[in-house]
Structure 1
Amino acid sequence: MTRALMIQGTGSNVGKSMLVAGLCRAALRRGLTVAPFKPQNMSNNAAVTADRGEIGRAQALQARACGLAPVTDMNPVLLKPETDIGAQVIVQGRRLTTVKARDYAKLKPQLLGHVLDSFGRLKAAHDLVLVEGAGSPAEVNLRSGDIANMGFARAADVPVILAGDIDRGGVIAQIVGTKAVLDPEDARQIAGFLINRFRGDPSLFDDGYRMIEAQTGWRGFGVCPWFPDAWRLPAEDALDIRTDRRAEGLHIVCLRLSRIANFDDLDPLAQEPGVRLTMLGPGEALPGDTDVVILPGSKSTRGDLAFLRAQGWDVDLAAHVRRGGHVLGICGGYQMLGRVISDPDGVEGAPGEDPGLGLLDIATVMSADKRLTEVQGTHCATGLPFDGYEIHMGRSEGADRARPFATVDDQPEGAVSADGRVAGSYLHGMFTDDAFRGAWLAGFGVASDVSYGAGIETVLDGLADHLDAHLDVDGLLAAAC
């Protein structure tokens, strides 16, 4: 029979995604067919699947750790925040609706059936399913109708391992406090705990470890030290992308928009030794030594265009271009570069029209149809092919489309300004292609010999080694049922 195990955390960002990825690779190396699963995720960093749906980027990485192509069943419910109080609801890879946070609780019970269907299909196809929770089971105010943590674990009868993050401090209270507030039936679903992100000598925590065991009655599965190469894996949060503080290298600056989406485009650039990558935060001015500005994707193009202007970045960008600097807009960033963005049907908010940055002669009209597909493009400037994906709403047309950024199926894609210094494209993922990335960087005088895909595989293997060295991985896998 297929077995399953769920990793839940004492809070958000305690390392659940990384733990599941490492356990997936460790199980694969033990000869098991294994698949990742996250019932509900909240992220604007999505991956396009082979079945033309979308899932959280973390589950795509976990699928890679399993040696699998990502499919929509691995993350059946994906919430993509569009505002501070509302999110788009993606169910089994397709947009269902957009709801306000307070209304989502009413929708959750309708989604459990979809979650269990997806989980059942994965169980039928694999020896082991490793499940990642969301947030924390200690958020007992959200327990009614829960599909992300204990609600799912009990409905699917999956044992739970609770992970605490000692780097945040207070890990004893994190775990013991979770036990204290849980419903007794929920607490019985927990098979044990582990400590994550320890810095220094783990033996110094021996007394605390024994205290947690005594206070909870749960079995401990080990203390996992900080994994120093974690930054080399695709980031789930834009705040996790490493900003390079070196004084040398091609200076690429990415504007960290409030609804930044699909920023995995930046991960390969962050690993280039000849590149200095800066994630520019709110209130920060564009550095004067910037060579290239990247306007990334956005879940709310018009909203983030207003956010960009509120930071004064529109003025900075105009000055950057006048000085001879380069700009690349990707997806929503491409739309912002144009003359106007129209949303007559209110796809992303209130119906209306906003002037763009005017750096490309294009106009964009938003529509409810979302394009979700993997593509192979050919870069017009270098003639090099590359694999990428599209995940966007809206269509852009205008005079600068006569100079496309790329071609897809022999059709023009994207646009380039007459002087060649401003470019835009709907294609994500282009920089994961080593040959294309190397040629693009060579245009700025930067040599590249980085193999990005091979690097990810090396880090995933190293992560599995790390978990095997410090956790009772065999015990964890044996706890699955």
Structure 2
Amino acid sequence: MTARRPPALMLQGTGSDVGKSLLTAGLARAFTRRGLSVRPFKPQNMSNNAAVTPDGGEIGRAQALQARAARVPLSVHMNPVLLKPETDRRAQVVVQGRALAPAEAADYQALKARLLGSVLESFAHLEAEADLVLVEGAGSPAEINLRAGDIANMGFARRAGVPVVLVGDIDRGGVIAALVGTKTVIDPADAAQIRGFIVNKFRGDVRLFDGGLTAITERTGWPSFGVVPWFRDVGLLPAEDAVTLERPIPQAERPLRIAVPMLSRIANFDDLDPLKAEEDVAVIFTPPGQPLPRDVDLILIPGSKATLADLAFLRAQGWDVDIIAHYRQGGAVFGICGGYQMLGRRVHDPAGIEGVQGSQPGLGLLDVETTLAGDKILRPVSGTSVTGTPLYGYEIHIGRTQGPDTARPLLTLPHGPEGAQSADGSVGGCYLHGLFASDAYRAEFLAQFRPERRAALGFEARVESVLDGLADHLETHLDLDGLWAVAQTRGGA
């Protein structure tokens, strides 16, 4: 007798950035509200935006948001393979929350076959505790040059017997060709794994696309599960892909201005989401090739996956000159994690952890030095500012920072004081990611620049509200009953 396996559904896309992550999050909240125990899963992710799990592992931030939508704790099994790019051709490979040695792109293709076992093990762990597992693919199954050894899309779906729904993005144009073309180029057995499609990011009257739905179904044999109109609050949820920083949401003129250099290996940039959410704060991401704006209250240097490489990149853009000039004119500078390391006198990498042994001078605005050595620190933490204001966040870094300015810490954490501050108080930094999500601390931080301001934003409550709004949106525009029925069609074990 064939054993029944728990329901599961996989969203794959006609390309990257078609909205798979947010659709998965919205579906997780919608099905959770229907009383199901839901778990998100992404076999392989590539991102330098990582979240720390309670047991000290790391997964992609998208899976962290999806877990939040499902109202369940984070688990390393939700994203068993995480690739964190260090250069254009090399990435750190994280398996079930733990970092392996970096791998070149060509080497990783050979490594994938060995990783499939970890992927299936993690999936089995989740399905054992869930009524429904929602799986997010990576990139597109139409990338048939990557099909051999695939663990991110059809390679996983067919091995685990998970039915697939294909997502197309109409906002970028050519969605009919993208959906029909996917059916044309993929293996017939892969195409048989697809049970229908979703058209995402529609603007205007959806009835105008009725003919398009018919054309897609006639050419593919796949039914439509709905057309999802553009979700206007999409920018209020954390984004995982740095490509979103290249399409900034226009901001009205706001009195408190923060400039952020877009480092080449920028990491955990969702640290800035709570600041962007404040109605009186403008967060200005400055792309390569442009100077940092002068009329700002603060320059904030974000995290980086490759501190030494991004320190060189920062200098190549001339941003070091802009930062020093801003400081000399009385402006404030703040760094988080890699940005904090860059603010010191030197950064040392004696073992070549980031690729090449050596050291570089930092910006010299903090009297500290950093040595990249030891095990990676991965831990969620709660603590206070030095004034006693409660806060929370997480650490995810390699490196130890020491020097006279650490005698003026910014935070008090369970394991001791954290961060450093210059003698004049205008330059500071720390390793704690996510600290601006703490409403009281964010208010205290911003009051340095506008003492008269009164913060009223509840950031975490707003994220919850937006997730509920996204679930409502999908309930209205998708056939959730049909998707649930597909999820129950998994083959026997």
TM over 0.5: yes
Alpha carbons 1:415, 1:425 under 8 Å: kept: yes
Q: 2:28 aligns with which of 21, 24, 27?
A: 24
User: Who is 1:267 aligned against?
Assistant: 273
2:455 is matched by which residue type in structure 1? S
1:356-409 Cα offsets, whole Å, 9 max, x none, are: 0000000111014100001112211x3212111100001010010111111212
Moved more, 237-246 or 300-309: 237-246
Q: 1:244, CA displacement in angstroms?
A: 4.8
1:182-231 Cα offsets, whole Å, 9 max, x none, are: 10111100010010000000111111110000000011111111001010
User: Who is 1:182 aligned against?
Assistant: 186
User: Who is 1:436 aligned against?
Assistant: 441
**Superposition map of 1:455-466 within 5 A:** 455-466=462-473
1:48 aligns with 2:52: yes
User: Who is 2:295 aligned against?
Assistant: 289
Q: 1:115 and 1:371 mapped to 2: Cα distance?
A: 24
2:258 is matched by which residue type in structure 1? I
Alpha carbons 1:179, 1:216 under 8 Å: kept: yes
Alpha carbons 2:45, 2:83 under 8 Å: kept: yes
Alpha carbons 2:384, 2:413 under 8 Å: kept: yes
Q: 1:362 and 1:404 mapped to 2: Cα distance?
A: 12
Alpha carbons 2:6, 2:131 under 8 Å: kept: yes
1:231-288 Cα offsets, whole Å, 9 max, x none, are: 0001112342545543332001111100000111101111000101101110111112
Alpha carbons 1:243, 1:279 under 8 Å: kept: no
User: Who is 1:391 aligned against?
Assistant: 396
CA spacing shift, 1:83–1:8, aligned 2, 3 Å: same
Alpha carbons 2:407, 2:420 under 8 Å: kept: yes
**Superposition map of 1:186-335 within 5 A:** 186-241=190-245, 242-335=248-341
Alpha carbons 1:274, 1:447 under 8 Å: kept: no
User: Who is 1:69 aligned against?
Assistant: 73
Q: 1:140 aligns with which of 138, 144, 169?
A: 144
User: Who is 1:417 aligned against?
Assistant: 422
User: Who is 1:365 aligned against?
Assistant: 371
Q: 2:311 and 2:235 mapped to 1: Cα distance?
A: 29
Q: 1:39 and 1:175 mapped to 2: Cα distance?
A: 22
Alpha carbons 1:24, 1:35 under 8 Å: kept: yes
2:15 is matched by which residue type in structure 1? G
Q: 1:192 and 1:346 mapped to 2: Cα distance?
A: 48
Q: 1:91 aligns with which of 92, 95, 99?
A: 95
1:284 is matched by which residue type in structure 2? Q
User: Who is 1:408 aligned against?
Assistant: 413
Q: 1:378 aligns with which of 373, 384, 388?
A: 384
User: Who is 1:154 aligned against?
Assistant: 158
1:252 is matched by which residue type in structure 2? I
Q: 1:211 and 1:290 mapped to 2: Cα distance?
A: 52
- Three-state SS of the structure 1 residue aligned to 2:376 is strand
Q: 1:171 and 1:422 mapped to 2: Cα distance?
A: 48
- Three-state SS of the structure 2 residue aligned to 1:324 is coil
1:15 aligns with 2:19: yes
1:4 is matched by which residue type in structure 2? A
Q: 1:451 aligns with which of 451, 458, 467?
A: 458
Q: TM-score, normalised by structure 1?
A: 0.98
Moved over 3 A (4+): 241-245
Task: Give the count of matched residue pairs.
Answer: 480
- Three-state SS of the structure 2 residue aligned to 1:167 is coil
Q: 1:245 and 1:4 mapped to 2: Cα distance?
A: 40
Gaps of 5+ in 1: none
1:451 is matched by which residue type in structure 2? G
- Three-state SS of the structure 2 residue aligned to 1:369 is coil
Alpha carbons 2:41, 2:133 under 8 Å: kept: yes
Q: 1:67 and 1:83 mapped to 2: Cα distance?
A: 35
Q: 2:115 and 2:432 mapped to 1: Cα distance?
A: 31
Q: 2:73 and 2:443 mapped to 1: Cα distance?
A: 25
- Three-state SS of the structure 1 residue aligned to 2:171 is helix
Q: 1:33, CA displacement in angstroms?
A: 0.3
1:319 is matched by which residue type in structure 2? A
1:103 is matched by which residue type in structure 2? D
User: Who is 2:41 aligned against?
Assistant: 37
User: Who is 2:346 aligned against?
Assistant: 340
User: Who is 2:63 aligned against?
Assistant: 59
- Three-state SS of the structure 1 residue aligned to 2:111 is helix
User: Who is 2:83 aligned against?
Assistant: 79
2:18 is matched by which residue type in structure 1? V
Alpha carbons 1:336, 1:357 under 8 Å: kept: yes
CA spacing shift, 1:263–1:412, aligned 2, 3 Å: same
Once the two structures are aligned, what percentage of the paired residues are identical?
Answer: 62
1:103-126 Cα offsets, whole Å, 9 max, x none, are: 111000000000000000100001
2:457 is matched by which residue type in structure 1? V
Alpha carbons 2:254, 2:279 under 8 Å: kept: no
User: Who is 1:122 aligned against?
Assistant: 126
- Three-state SS of the structure 1 residue aligned to 2:354 is coil
Q: 1:97, CA displacement in angstroms?
A: 1.8
Q: 1:270 and 1:64 mapped to 2: Cα distance?
A: 21
1:205 is matched by which residue type in structure 2? F
Alpha carbons 1:376, 1:386 under 8 Å: kept: yes
1:46 is matched by which residue type in structure 2? A
